[in-house]
Amino acid sequence: MTSPADFESAARAVLGRLPGAFREHLADVVLRIEEFASAEQLAAVGIEDRWELTGLYEGVALTEQSQWDHERMPPVISLFRQPLLAEMRETGVGFAELVRHVVIHEAGHHFGLSDEDMHALEDGVED
């Protein structure tokens, strides 16, 4: 089974392969690997089944931040290990590919990117 450390290593590798301008702005983002989303996290995105949420960005997108915002908690990207493992089993998508997809999608929220922009960014990141 793929360990939390494997997930963290793979996620950090994805972040490290993003273009430099993106990496700079992600330096303060906290990366967490959890088994499942909490009840509060699920409620925040309107999902009831804990198996349905594979990743989550919690924070204020750069496009919505103000220079007057100083005392906020750092943004967090969470990957939820059990739902990701289940998705790999169900879809046959490989570990590295799935982690890359979820990390880039969640990082995209930090930049206020559209889904289309996120797909273009994902296509530009090498394995």
The reply to whether 67 falls in a domain is no
The reply to whether 117 falls in a domain is yes
CATH of residue 86: 3.30.2010.20
> What pLDDT is recorded for position 116?
79
> What pLDDT is recorded for position 53?
97
The reply to whether 119 falls in a domain is yes
Q: Over the stretch 61-105, which tens digit does the pLDDT of each residue have?
A: 777 766 666 667 788 999 999 999 999 999 999 999 999 999 988
- Of 66 and 14, the structure prediction assigns the larger pLDDT to 14
Mean pLDDT of 34-54: 96
Instruction: Report if pTM > 0.75.
Output: yes
The reply to whether 68 falls in a domain is no
Burial level of 73, CB count in 10 A (0-12/13-18/19+)?
A: exposed
Number of domains in the chain: 1
The domain in which residue 84 lies consists of: 4-62+73-124
The reply to whether 52 falls in a domain is yes
